[in-house]
Amino acid sequence: MADNQPRVIVVGGGLAGLAASVRIAEAGVPVDLFSMVPVKRSHSVCAQGGINACNEVARQQGYSEWLHMDETLYGGDFLNHQPPVYEMTHWAPKVIDLMDRMGVPFNRTSEGQRDLRLFGGSLFKRTHFAGATTGQQLLYALDEQTRRYEADGKVTKHEFWEFLWPVLDDSNGKKRCVGIVAQDMRSMQIRAFRADAVVMATGGCGMVFGKSTMSVICTGGAASRCYQAGAWLGNPEFIQVHPTAIPGEDKCRLMSESARGEGGRVWVPRKKNDDRPPNDIPTAERWYFLEEKYPKYGNLVPRDIATREIFFVCQQGHGIGGGRMVYLDVTHLPDATKHKLDGILEIYEKFTGDNPRNVPMKIFPAVHYSMGGLYTVYTAKEDSKGMVQGAPNNMMTNLEGLYAFGEVNYQYHGATRLGANALLNCIFDGLFCGLSVVNYVRDQKPGARAAELPAQPFNTVVQQEQAKMKRLLEADGQYNPYQIHAKLGDELTDSCTVIREENRMKRAYEALGELNAQYKNLGLSDAGMWTNQTLSFARALGDMLIYAEAILAGSIARKESRGSHYRPDYPERDDKKFHKTTVAKFDAVTGRATLEYEPVPTPLIAPRARTYGKVEAEADDNKKDKKEEAATS
Amino acid sequence: MTEHTPSTAASSGDPATSFLQQHHFLFRRLHSLSGILPVGVFVIMHLFTNFQMLGGDFQHEVDFIHSTPALLVVEITLWLSIAFHAGLGLVYTFSGRPNVRRYRYGGNWRYYLQRITGFIALGFIFVHVATLRWRWDLFGWFTPFYVRGFDGQPLAHATTAMALQHARWVVAIYLIGAMSVVYHWSNGLWTSAITWGVTISAPAQRRWGYVCAALGIALTVFSLGAVVGALKYHVTDEDRRSIRMTVDFYESGGTDADTKPRPHTATHGHE
Amino acid sequence: MATNTDQKTIRFKVKRQDAPQTAPYWQDFDVPHPPGANVISCLLHIAANPVTADGRTVAPVAWDCNCLEEVCGACTMVINGRVRQSCSALISELAEEAAAVTLEPMTKFPVVRDLMVDRSRMFKNLIDIKAWVPIDGTHALGPGPTESPANQDTRYALSRCMTCGCCLEACPQFLLDNHFIGAAAISQARYFNAHETGKTLQDDRLEALETPGGVSDCGNAQNCVQVCPKDIPLTESIAAIGRQTTVHAIKSFFSGK
């Protein structure tokens, strides 16, 4: 029967979800694609700067896929698994070629080749870009290809449907994901969808921090629901704070790293509380602190480092007018270069009223990306150089048949993600691991297919979700979900972003307990059964609280500093104790994370000190490096 | 069930689509073409001829036009073009809903005016032709036009002058009507360059806009000149007598064949 | 009139509708607005405190939004009578225009609830014009065609269309109950026809655009280009497709099947 043929569900229509849909549909397996928004409006559109890949120009200057891998591991403070990073960086040129064939309007050189720009964490130009809206262009290209399969009937889109819970079948004694339960966000209908594999491509969890650079749907709700259903989280505490964003009332708007990649400079007045307009401050009285401290990488140190430096400079009172802002200056760039940045300069102009072409931008760090996410596994090649292509378990979570692609996948970036590696990671996951999904569902024996299972496991989850909805709709407590969310955001942003002080985090952890209590005493201002956005938000809030607990617990427990995780009480990296993946398992009884640690193998590159040539640290590092070299040789 | 997906016509495979819809693109383009070419060329010639009332040899021009060998064919072509252009224009006009109150952009006003002037022009042309050419008596507005009287007397200027001097509101109607025609044509010429894809870039559209505006201004000058020329003409008693006799002549069953030969055709170059 | 009793409060007049079939009604809200506030942050305030100006607690206003930085295209609505993205509508600027901020859903799409409308017609239009490059699958087959920087620049401007619907809302030819395809999709057809591989489907696209509701239904009011938040040269696209369809029609008249 045709109905028994394997099907795949993809949750999330960003780069990873669309790349997976296209790849899986292309292999002949029908795809049901779920998204809370029309997929073309997914958060991937917000990515600006570009996508990294080794290219011929860089190669002839000494760059290679291997170096790209090395940079990614160095940037990630060696917390990333090496075979997947190897595979991703070696696939990167193919990914660019493919996106190029799809018609992405990459910027061009006079000869018509793809243009390149410099980006953080690298000394080579290896970032391909389309103006300053690369994510938008890449997403649209995949959206178009998905539409092509949609027109052919191979992809069925379920837009304005919210993923509520994975359906797990344990009739064979082993938990296996066989579908999802989702809700139509308009009619509020809750129903189950069967599938032989489910790919979660649901992005990050920025909303947990209240205001971030992320879109409003990036609550981490979907990941949290999988986590509560038994999937593990990997490294939930690793959250990237982007150095340059425009602080706003409703969100912090990203000012791409490409501004610095194209030559933009970060500075503050040397004199504290200098209240002169920026253009009146002569160069000699400007402190280009990143260039001064990191002569090698300058403004293009990895994000966590730039963020901390900006934060410290402001703490020392050097921020603009003594406040929490620094200048990001592109005014000196030639017009042709500014033209390449139009996409972001327009955003700045629209939202602040100042023209950044003439006046330096005022920026401050903001939560941007979650390196952590659903824990996944893979099959490494024997020599650890890459993953086995098509291995059914590549990027599968600990729950069989449940995959995690893109930002929700904890792989690839370790303790900090390098700029322009996210787009790569998303598309790579979809393309490379999409094949794994195809192989996995094809391996399912007839008779064990999702379509052939009894209704019971599906009905159980539908009932569970209906009961949850009923509880929320009928709640008549005194707390408003939006207000709880604001407090959650404040607590997490204050305790668990740039500087993570143990006492502050513990206070936040306690506050979380209070917020959980308030959540149990919720009152919804909308009890309707048509397009009830409050219900959706309130439900996600519960999931955010649970995810936030894992972030805080992981941050408190990791007593070291590594990448984006900076603990003033433990300022050094501690490889002995913490060169390990945090694995968070949800304890349904306590509602809390149980943390376990899993060593990170380093088959290809041995960890080394991560200094990026900082001047004051240089002397020590040289010694350390030499020691390490001696030890490894 | 909540999905509202009005199918775009681009994909509708409704077998009952009308002839008009099946050849939609062709009709749209013919609509554009019929407005610019036959109607447009005629309008230019007509206004230029009328402009001769201001100091030129209007009678000579009119005689020349009326000596065109297949005048009837030309006239029928013109009528068909106007009918085609107007008929489709009406259908197309009602496919849109102007929103100038919300979006007060120049282009939007031009779009709105194009439709308004289309209606006015259609009404005006009808009245203009009915009273002058067909010599209808519209509610006492009886101002027939004759190129020459039954006796060969030149009457083109005199009858036109009589028509315009009939009443002030006739002048108003002629001014509004002629302006509408001129606007409709010159703006249509501008948009047709976009429709056909002649002007693509915004600067090209702007440049062509200047050309069309200049043409429009020239035609406006012609029409104003014609009106002034008609108003300035002093209708003599002889003119009145000749016109009355000519009216009587035709009303009593006379035909063009019975009139005297037109001097223009007989003796070319009478200067 | 704006209430001046509270400092920095602005009156929001919101056109609401509970469901597609129910009648719309208006509600007023007084919203405090700190510097830098925009329509979205005010709507978020209403969501957290859904109390009308006359003190009634009501259901929060439903609206569409996502990225809040004007790249996703979700939050289009009619603000003070003009269609635009609500995320980039700063209160400080709106306050200069009028004493109150009026929010209405778009009128050219069916209302789902309050300020939310159903724009699926726009996405369907993209299928009709085959808005994609027909690649031979996702396997590694080398790079795409090279492209001149000038062509890239043209295409890039077109590729920024976020399907927000502003151009259609402002278009006098695009109506809730007609079939006009509108500027967005016409411009996308131009975008794909300008790509070396995308060109392969050019005839299909042009044929789709020659049917009723296609490019020739444009009335050249040119509102689209005025309201486009991404400054996409939509009228140039319409002209370019005009030329392509002209040439295509003539070609197929003389050498078509």
Question: How close is the nearest chain A Cα to the Cα of C93, in Å?
Answer: 10
Classify residue A586: in a domain, yes or no.
Answer: no
Whole-number pLDDT of residue B258: 62
CA distances from A458 to A170, A193, A439 (A): 12, 8, 24
Which partners does chain A have (≥3 C-beta pairs < 8 Å)?
B, C
**A55 and A97 in contact (C-beta within 8 Å)?**
no
* Res. B1: pLDDT tops 50: no
In this structure, the answer to whether residues A308 and A384 fall within a common structural domain is no
Residue B14 predicted with pLDDT over 60: no
Q: Which residue has the tokens 């090279």?
A: C146
CB half-sphere exposure, C215, CA atoms < 13 A: 34
* Longest CA pairwise span in chain C (Å): 74
Domain C9-117 CATH (choose: 3.10.20.30, 2.70.150.10, 3.20.20.100, 3.40.50.1860):
3.10.20.30
Report yes or no: C116 at the B interface, CB cutoff 8 Å: no
Please, which residues have CB within 8 angstroms of residue B141's CB and are 6 or more apart in sequence? Answer: B131, B166, B167, B170
Nearest to B108 among C218, C221, C239 (CB): C221
Give the pLDDT mean for A210-227.
97
- For residue B1, the chain A residue with the least C-alpha distance is A187
* Per-window interface: C 21-80 vs B, CB < 8 A: none
pLDDT at A351: 93
C179·B9 Cβ contact <8 A = yes
CA dihedral A301→A302→A305→A309, nearest 10 degrees, is 50
Is A118 a domain residue?
A: yes
**For chain C, which residues make up each domain, given as ranges?**
9-117, 120-255
Mean local confidence (pLDDT), A511-523: 96
Q: Are A106 and A209 found together in one domain?
A: yes
Asked if A142 and A22 touch (Cβ cutoff 8 Å), the reply is: yes
Calculate mean pLDDT across residues A349-375: 96
The encoded tokens of residue A598 equal 């899993």
Q: Is there a common fold for C9-117 and C120-255?
A: no
CB within 8 Å: C59 and A526? yes
Measured between beta carbons, the chain B residues lying within 8 angstroms of C180 are 95
Residue B123 placed within a domain: yes
How far out from the chain centre does Cα A173 lie? 34
Is B248 a member of any domain? yes
* Same-domain pairing of A408 and A464: no
| 8 Å CB contact between A65 and A126 | no
Domain finish residue from A449, A479, A499: A449
The CATH number of residue B144's host domain is 1.20.1300.10
Q: Is B191 helix (H, G, I), strand (E, B) or coil?
A: helix
The reply to whether residue C221 touches residue B28, judged by beta carbons under 8 angstroms, is no
ipTM of the complex: 0.96
Domain count, chain B: 1
A363-377, A500-514, B47-61: least confidently modelled range: B47-61
Q: Same domain, yes or no, for A337 and A387?
A: no
- Which chain A residue is nearest to residue C193, measuring alpha carbons? A103
Examine the pLDDT at B264 and tell me if it is beyond 80.
no
Asked if pLDDT for residue B61 goes beyond 90, the answer is: no
Residue that is written with structure tokens 């308004």 in the block? B116
pLDDT tops 70 at residue A122: yes
Task: Output the CA–CA distances (angstroms, integers) from residue B46 to A291, B66, B75, B226, in the order listed.
Answer: 76, 12, 13, 10
Query: Could you tell me which of A176, A220, A210, A241 has the C-alpha nearest to residue A584?
Result: A220
Residues A171 and A299 reside in one and the same domain: no
Phi, psi of C12 (to 5 degrees): -105, 125
Q: pLDDT tens-digit profile of B26-39?
A: 999 999 999 998 88
Q: Residue A167 sits in which domain range? A: 2-241+369-449
Long-range contacts (CB closer than 8 Å, 24 or more residues apart) made by C12-15: C12/C42, C12/C46, C12/C100, C12/C101, C12/C102, C12/C103, C13/C100, C13/C101, C13/C102, C13/C103, C14/C46, C14/C61, C14/C102, C14/C103, C14/C114, C14/C115, C15/C102, C15/C103, C15/C104, C15/C105, C15/C114, C15/C115
Side chain identity at A237, as an amino acid letter?
A: E
Probe site for chain C from A144, A337, A362 (most C CB atoms < 10 A): A144
Q: Does B2 contact A at CB distance below 8 Å?
A: yes
Q: Are B56 and B103 in contact (CB under 8 A)?
A: no
For residue C62, report the phi and psi dihedrals to the nearest 5 degrees.
-90, 135
pLDDT(B44) > 80: yes
Residue A510 burial (C-beta neighbours within 10 Å; 0-12, 13-18, 19+) = exposed
Which residue from A minimizes the CA distance to C33? Answer: A249
d(CA A219, CA A226): 13
Of chain A residues 260-289, which have a CB less than 8 A from chain C? Answer: none
Closest chain C CA to residue A250: C41
Identify which of B6, B96, B102 has the shortest CB distance to residue C81: B102
A36 shares its domain with A23: yes
To 5 degrees, how large is the angle CA A121–CA A125–CA A129? 100
Q: What is the mean pLDDT of residues A600-605?
A: 97
Residue A183 has pLDDT above 80, yes or no: yes
- Match domain C120-255 to its CATH number in 1.10.150.130, 3.40.50.720, 3.40.50.300, 1.10.1060.10: 1.10.1060.10
Identity of residue A116? L
> Measured between CB atoms, does B1 come within 8 Å of chain A?
yes
Ranges under pLDDT 70 in chain C: 1-7
Whether C172 and chain B come into contact, CB under 8 Å, resolves to yes
Judged against a pLDDT cut of 60, whether residue B262 lies above it is answered with no
Report d(CA B90, CA A60) in Å as an integer: 66
Residues ≥6 apart with Cβ < 8 Å to B61: B49, B52
Q: Which residues pair with A586 in a beta bridge?
A: A593
Q: What is the pLDDT of residues A238-286, one digit of tens each?
A: 999 999 999 988 899 999 999 999 999 999 999 998 889 999 999 999 9
Chains with 3 or more CB pairs under 8 A to chain B: A, C
Please state whether A597 falls in left (phi above 0), alpha (psi between -120 and 50) or beta: beta
A126 is an active site residue: no
Minimum-distance CB partner of A105 among C40, C90, C155 = C155
Residue identified by tokens 């028509």 is B163
Q: Reduce the secondary structure of A447-468 to three states and give it as a string.
A: CCCHHHCCCHHHHHHHHHHHHH
Neighboring chain B residues of A159 at a CB cutoff of 8 Å: none
Q: Cβ–Cβ contacts within 10 Å for residue A628, how many?
A: 15
Structural domain contains residue A134? yes
Interface size A-B, in CB pairs within 8 Å, comes to 4
d(CA A47, CA A343): 11
Tell me the nearest-neighbour CA distance from B203 into chain A, angstroms: 20
The boundaries of the domain holding residue B79 are 26-266
pLDDT single digits (tens) A446-468 = 888 999 999 999 999 999 999 99
Q: How far apart are CA A106 and CA A130, in angstroms?
A: 4
Asked if the structure places residue B12 within a domain, the reply is no
Q: Do C211 and B7 touch (CB under 8 A)?
A: no
Task: Output B65 or A565, whichever has higher pLDDT.
Answer: A565
- Torsion sign, CA atoms C204, C207, C213, C216: positive
pLDDT tens string C147-160? 999 999 999 999 99
User: What value does the mean pLDDT of chain B take?
Assistant: 85
Distance of CA A189 to the CA centre of its chain: 30
Q: B199 contacts in C (CB within 8 Å)? A: 239
Q: How many interchain CB pairs under 8 A, B with C? A: 151
3 state SS of C79: strand
Contact A40 C148 (CB under 8 A): no
Q: What is the pLDDT of residues B140-194, one digit of tens each?
A: 777 888 888 877 888 888 888 888 888 889 999 999 999 999 999 999 999 999 9
Please report which confidence band the pLDDT of residue B15 belongs to, taking 50, 70 and 90 as the band edges: very low
Domain identity same for A117 and A229: yes
Minimal CA separation from B12 to chain A, in Å: 15
Residue of B nearest to A185 (CA): B2
Q: What pLDDT is stored for residue B2 in this prediction?
A: 37
The single residue of A7, A225, A286, A303 carrying the catalytic annotation is A303
Radius of gyration of chain A (CA): 24
| Dihedral sign computed on CA atoms, order A315, A318, A319, A323 | positive
Segment holding A596, helix H or strand E:
strand A592-599
DSSP-derived 3-state class of residue A56: helix
A416 within domain boundaries = yes
The pairing of beta strand C9-16 with beta strand C100-104: parallel
For B107-117, b where at least 16 C-beta lie within 10 A, e where not — what string?
A: bbebbbbbbeb
In chain B, residues with a C-beta closer than 8 Å to the C-beta of A184 are 2
A14 and A161 co-located in one domain: yes
CATH number at residue A150: 3.50.50.60
**C21, C109, C223, best to mutate vs chain B, most B CBs in 10 Å:** C223
Question: What pLDDT does C4 receive?
Answer: 43
pLDDT at A542: 97
Q: Do A556 and A423 fall into the same domain? A: no
Please tell me the distance in Å from C243's CA to the nearest CA on chain B: 4
Residue-wise pLDDT for B66-117, tens only, equals: 887 888 898 888 889 999 999 999 999 998 999 999 999 999 999 999 999 9
CA-based nearest residue in chain B for residue A531: B2
Q: Which one-letter amino acid corresponds to residue A204?
A: G
Nearest to A415 by CA among A241, A207, A629, A297: A241
Asked if A320 and A362 touch (Cβ cutoff 8 Å), the reply is yes
Give tens-digit pLDDT for A17-76: 999 999 999 999 999 999 999 999 999 999 999 999 999 999 999 999 999 999 999 999
Q: Are A217 and A14 in contact (CB under 8 A)?
A: no
**pLDDT given at position A87:** 98
Which of C121, C212, C244 is the closest to B24 by Cβ?
C212
| Structural domains in chain A (count) | 4
Across the interface, do A40 and C140 touch by the CB < 8 Å criterion? Answer: no
* Cβ-defined contact of C81 to B17 (cutoff 8 Å): no
Question: Cβ–Cβ contacts within 10 Å for residue B252, how many?
Answer: 7
C-alpha triplet A256, A258, A264: angle, nearest 5°: 100
What are chain C's partners, defined as 3 or more CB pairs within 8 angstroms? A, B
Mutate which: C113, C216, C224, C254, vs B, most B CBs within 10 A: C216
Averaged pLDDT of chain A: 94
Is B119 exposed, middle or buried, given 0-12, 13-18 or 19+ CB atoms closer than 10 A?
Answer: middle
**In whole angstroms, what is the distance from residue A432 CA to residue A392 CA?**
11
Looking at residue A529, its amino acid is M
Residue B1 lies in a domain: no
* pLDDT in the model for residue B260: 58
* pLDDT higher than threshold 80 for residue A628: no
pLDDT, position B270: 37
